[in-house]
């Protein structure tokens, strides 16, 4: 039986045990992650937390809707047991009717054919790092290998566990100027997320320094369920010129090779970024973006 639970009715210990033991568990689905990105989240729970689905919701114009929170690429149904398309559909049908607009991402193990939902495939890229580094390096593109030679020529260095603010500020000063979707509250949210997970050993910040020990690029990685997620990065003009992000990712792969760990690049539907991630030998993996609009006709046009 699938039950709908309000936020204060969720047993967070049982929930986290479910995510930890799910074959498709992922860092975004833990309560301490959801509490930051959507503090009022609710849930669908099957039986005694054998399967769960977070409902990340908000309210606008008096109408309730479900959305994909910032810094959470995938959510959907998580399960300790075998998960079928029919079960995923049952969860979607169990979403309470007062949520009149739905637009969110399922995870890579959730399949769907229900025609009530408009769905399209989004891309992420994953690299299995169980092999030795020398083997993984052979799968790099020639362009990536050239960029790594360039980076090595500039004598770049990795700084472990740098301050998260330095990476966020790098992004804000450079790429952040072009990304209108990022608001000040998103940077506050990211800082809070990182610090919460860093304290329990599930997040790391790496920076690249030039020969003058100045930070020119950096990235945040989150870890759980044998997966490392490349969640966020910042890069300066100098970093781009010196191939600093190529160097950072290569060093991460080198230091985590021969481990039961998958590097999830967390994207991308953007062809340029997809090409960059693929250049490290990663494989494209699809997940579903679903949408359903049951708003009254006079509001439907707002969410086309």
Residue 182 has pLDDT above 90, yes or no: no
Which pLDDT score, from 0 to 100, does residue 181 have? 74
Which pLDDT score, from 0 to 100, does residue 58 have? 95
For the chain, the average pLDDT equals 92
Tell me the average pLDDT across 33-62: 96
Which band of pLDDT confidence, cut at 50, 70 and 90, is reported for residue 273?
confident
Tell me the average pLDDT across 240-257: 96
What percentage of the chain exceeds 90 in pLDDT? 81
Which pLDDT score, from 0 to 100, does residue 173 have? 84
CB count within 10 Å of CB 121 equals 11
Distance CA 123, CA 108 (A): 9
Residue 280 has pLDDT above 80, yes or no: yes
Question: 160 vs 34, which has greater pLDDT?
Answer: 34
Tell me the average pLDDT across 144-164: 93
Residue 246 has pLDDT above 60, yes or no: yes
Which pLDDT score, from 0 to 100, does residue 56 have? 98
Which pLDDT score, from 0 to 100, does residue 303 have? 53
Which pLDDT score, from 0 to 100, does residue 177 have? 67
Which pLDDT score, from 0 to 100, does residue 304 have? 47
Which pLDDT score, from 0 to 100, does residue 162 have? 86
Which residue reads 């953007």 in tokens?
270
Pairing label, strands 99-105, 63-66: parallel
Instruction: Give the Å distances, CA to CA, from 56 to 105, 223, 265.
Output: 11, 22, 23
Number of H helices, E strands in the chain: 11, 14
Lowest mean per-residue pLDDT among 101-115, 228-242, 263-277: 263-277
Residue 60 has pLDDT above 60, yes or no: yes
Phi, psi of 30 (to 5 degrees): -70, 150
Lowest mean per-residue pLDDT among 158-162, 225-229, 277-281, 286-290: 158-162
Helices of type H across 122-211: 133-138, 142-153, 164-173, 184-199
Residue 6 has pLDDT above 50, yes or no: yes
Tell me the average pLDDT across 211-234: 95
User: What digits encode the pLDDT tens for the residues 71-108?
Assistant: 999 999 999 999 999 999 999 999 999 999 999 999 99
Residue 298 has pLDDT above 60, yes or no: no
Tell me the average pLDDT across 249-278: 92
- DSSP state string for 31-52: HHHHHHH-TT-EEEEETTTTEE
Angle subtended by helix axes 184-199 and 164-173, to nearest 10: 150
């Amino acid at each position: 039986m699938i039950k709908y639970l309000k936020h204060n009715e969720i047993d967070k210990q049982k929930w986290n045990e479910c995510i930890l033991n799910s074959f498709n568990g992922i860092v975004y689905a833990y309560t301490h992650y959801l509490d930051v990105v959507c503090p009022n989240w609710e849930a669908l729970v099957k039986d005694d937390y054998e399967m769960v689905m977070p409902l990340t919701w908000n309210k606008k114009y008096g109408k309730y809707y479900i959305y994909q929170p910032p810094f959470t690429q995938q959510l959907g149904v998580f399960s300790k047991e075998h998960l079928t398309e029919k079960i995923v559909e049952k969860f979607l049908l169990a979403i309470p009717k007062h949520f009149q607009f739905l637009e969110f991402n399922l995870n890579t193990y959730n399949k769907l054919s229900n025609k009530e939902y408009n769905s399209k495939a989004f891309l992420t890229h994953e690299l299995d790092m169980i092999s030795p580094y020398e083997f993984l390096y052979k799968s790099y593109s020639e362009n990536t290998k050239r960029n790594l030679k360039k980076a090595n020529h500039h004598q770049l260095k990795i700084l472990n566990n740098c301050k998260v603010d330095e990476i966020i500020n790098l992004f804000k000063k450079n790429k952040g100027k072009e990304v209108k979707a990022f608001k000040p509250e998103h940077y506050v949210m990211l800082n809070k997320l990182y610090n919460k997970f860093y304290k329990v050993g599930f997040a790391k910040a790496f920076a690249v320094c030039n020969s003058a020990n100045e930070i020119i690029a950096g990235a945040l990685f989150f870890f759980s369920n044998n997966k490392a997620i490349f969640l966020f990065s910042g890069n300066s003009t100098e970093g781009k010129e010196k191939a600093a992000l190529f160097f950072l990712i290569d060093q991460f792969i080198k230091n985590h090779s021969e481990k039961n760990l998958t590097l999830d690049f967390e994207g991308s539907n953007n062809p340029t970024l997809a090409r960059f991630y693929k250049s490290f030998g990663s494989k494209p993996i699809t997940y579903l973006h679903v949408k359903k609009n049951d708003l009254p006709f006079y509001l439907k046009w707002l969410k086309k």
